[in-house]
Chain A
Amino acid sequence: MFLLADNVWLDALLRMTIVAVLVPVGVILLTWVERKVIGRLQQRLGPMHVGPFGLLQGIADTIKLMTKEDVRPDSADRPTFELAVFVIVVPVFMAAVAIPFTADIFVRNMALGLFYFLAVSSLGIVGFVMAGWGSDNKYALLGGVRAGAQLISYEIPLILSAVAVAMLGQSLSLYTLVELQDNTPFIAYQPLAFVIFIIAGLAELYRQPFDIPVAESEVVGGPTVEYSGIRWSMFQMAEFVSLVLISALASLLFLGGWVWPFGADNATWLQVVLMVVKTSAFILFFMWMRVSVPRLRIDQLMALCWQILLPFAFLQIIINGLVLVYDWPSWTLTILSGAAAIAMGAIIYRVARRSGVLYQTSGAAEQVGLVL
């Protein structure tokens, strides 16, 4: 680890400044990437006119959003409404502090980095509920309640799958966890935890098929419906930063971060390339999902979380516990976890095919005596 300044405090401050500057710039680029990728997947061109390949579109949009009138509904609960934005954005930046991007590039290398990340990033839920309540809008309220229910539920499988990895590495430091993967990434030992992590990550980012809180065709943006201009762009920024963070965390925990496959002592530029490639792969996957699948209903979403993901997340922890306690060879982990992952996939597939058993259908007419 190298220091940017001699004084530790000054060093920390400089690092945080770099994060605070780089992140919004990255987000502007990322919005361009997302619009291009989604445009291509939808037989469109995406942004074309501002700058080469529409590259400056994000900057133009930022200027537009910043100069836009800040509209606040008269009946909104002002402190809640205005504070909600910060309650969402600040935890995201706080979480960014804990992510090591390479062996040298990070803000703080915490011994409890994983724990800190998970703890801080779940604070955003409060912001969504506040935004939903404070807007005094019925769609926002519905969206806020949905967000609360969804994010709290999916927090649990997300954390449990991360815990499974932490068990394996016997550490909560992201740095240590990555260094342990110089031969084999943890995805080889923990496929089940990986699948659960990605599904729960999609739900945490409220992307399709789990975009229920912000569902445009139902609650028209949900908690964000009354926000405009710079406040709305803060929501967007929080969303994109969390996208990067969840992707980065997935590549650190499961794909060996900057270490695998070239070992722990490769050059810094190679580490950066590795991280960028792995993180972008996840980001592209999330973008791809966004335009590829329809949305689940809230009861189906809950059923998926509590009846499938959660038991299987515990199963992964039990498997890890058995292997660690009885000192079984590491390939047993791969086989047990892989078999469990396949079983989970099969169950989800069967349940979705045979809708009406786990997923309650609405027997509309009979219940209310409207039958002719």
Chain B
Amino acid sequence: MTIKSEPFVVNVGPQHPSTHGVFRLRLTLDGEKIIDADMIMGYLHRSMEKLAEERTYTQNIPFTDRTDYLAAMTGNLAYVIAVEKLMNIEVPERAQFLRTIMAELQRIASHSMAIGIFANDCGAWQTPVMHMFRDREKILDLFEMACGARLTLNYMRIGGVSRDIPDEWMPQAHKLLKELPKRFAEYEDLLLSNEIIIARSRGVGVLTPEQAIAYSVSGPMLRGSGVAWDIRKADPYAAYDKLDFEIAVGTNGDCYDRFVIRLAELRQSLYMLEQALDMMPSGPVHQRLGTSTVQPGTQPIAPLAFRPPVGEAYGRIESPRGELGYYIVSDGGPSPFRFHIRSPSFINLTPLKLMAIGSTVADAIVILGSVDIVVGEVDR
């Protein structure tokens, strides 16, 4: 006797605890097995790229906080690098180091969340997330000291950073750097060799190097598939060319490898931070923009409204999620003619269908967790 069965469509999201925002995954199931997966995006679309065309270059910096809201520093950085390329601005040495330090702190904060949430998706009920919050909290305190905000930081400026760090910042940062290795050792102890995490994530959501490159994924996902590609090495920006670090690379390209790479990158970030804090030069933190950008004969309006020359530029950095790029076209006006965000979350999400089909519902959640998306960045 055969039992009649038919496919069963389940909408995971837009309201679901494991989609980490308003992302919708439409799964077609045969029992627990996934036979089709569709990604439906756009629930958090805020039309940032279009809005940015109506605002001045400086006014656009807060938008970059709000795309990847778990890594506002790197969002800022990618955008200001693009504009600086467009305008050929030299950034002071101290500002470069401050940018690097902030970006690496942000990477630790963001990877902590990614690891915690991944473990949460594997079913470790909130404990890893809560422990990770403890570290992230201290990093956010440092951000608050530096720029007054904790989440949407708006710290970077075109030509430098908004302000220098206060005197108390350095001692507190050094204190944090002493504390973090102990915490990381604890996480490695508890999570890395956790049998259930291994059983749940090893061999799940495999992406071969060829597939990873074909889908143009980047960041921990690409490195998890075994491709040693890191923009900090490949196309150094800020002060990364002066720092020594290694690229963590996986072998199997599965969810476990992505998770391990994030843990390894925590260590690398810490190592970079130690170097950067020691090497930090003194000097100005902001390059005053020349008056040449104000058109002759007009009243020199507020420095906010500078006009870059006609042209285009693409600034890219290694954000915690992968290659974050801002492509900016200028028509000589005070606001960009075209403002495009190459967001790693969106592009890393594209092979989800490939990874999810054939696995089970529980695996799909783990795979989605291992991609580490921020929906604000997927939809923009």
Contact = CB atoms under 8 A, between A and B. Distances in A.
A372 B358 contact: no
A294 B119 contact: yes
A368 B356 CA distance: 11
A285 B7 CA distance: 40
Contact of B205 (A297, A352, A364): A364
A90 interface: no
Interface stretch (A25-33, A74-82, A211-219, A241-249): A211-219
Interface stretch (A40-48, A50-58, A175-183, A273-281): A40-48
A346 interface: no
A271 interface: no
A298 interface: yes
A208 B202 contact: no
Nearest to B11: A138
Contacts of A291: 124-127
B16 A220 contact: yes
Interface string A344-368: 0000010011011001011111011
B365 interface: yes
A292 interface: yes
B251 interface: no
Contacts of A43: 130-131, 133-134
A372 B210 CA distance: 8
A296 B211 contact: no
A362 B200 CA distance: 10
B206 A364 contact: yes
Nearest to A41: B127
B119 A364 contact: no
B359 interface: yes
A217 B119 contact: no
B214 A209 contact: no
Nearest to A138: B10
Interface residues of A, number: 44
Interface in B197-244: 197-200, 202-206, 210-211, 214
A290 B198 CA distance: 18
Given A296-B200, A368-B357, A370-B354, A349 B195 contact: yes
A364 B253 CA distance: 12
B275 interface: no
B226 to A, nearest CB: 16
B362 interface: yes
B268 interface: no
Contact of B122 (A294, A355, A356, A363): A294
A211 B122 CA distance: 11
A293 B32 contact: no
A80 B265 CA distance: 52
Given A364-B205, A365-B206, A300 B127 contact: no
A142 interface: yes
A70 interface: no
Given A138-B8, A295-B122, A297-B362, A352 B199 contact: yes
Interface in A285-318: 290-300
Given A42-B131, A138-B10, A370-B357, A355 B203 contact: yes
Contact of A364 (B131, B202, B355): B355
Contacts of B200: 294-297, 300
A43 B8 CA distance: 40
A362 B199 contact: no
Given A217-B120, A370-B353, 10 more contacts: A138-B9, A217-B123, A291-B126, A293-B196, A297-B200, A297-B360, A299-B360, A365-B355, A367-B357, A368-B358
Interface of B: 8-11, 16-18, 32, 119-127, 130-131, 133-134, 194-200, 202-206, 210-211, 214, 353-363, 365
26 contacts: A42-B126, A43-B133, A138-B8, A209-B196, A211-B123, A216-B17, A217-B18, A291-B124, A293-B124, A293-B194, A294-B119, A294-B124, A294-B194, A294-B197, A295-B362, A296-B196, A296-B199, A297-B200, A355-B199, A356-B202, A356-B203, A364-B356, A364-B357, A365-B354, A365-B355, A365-B357
Interface of A: 41-44, 138-139, 142, 208-209, 211-212, 215-220, 290-300, 349, 352-353, 355-356, 359, 361-365, 367-368, 370-372
Q: What 8 pairs across the A-B complex have the smallest Cβ distances?
A: A295-B123, A361-B203, A352-B195, A362-B359, A42-B130, A294-B122, A294-B124, A294-B123
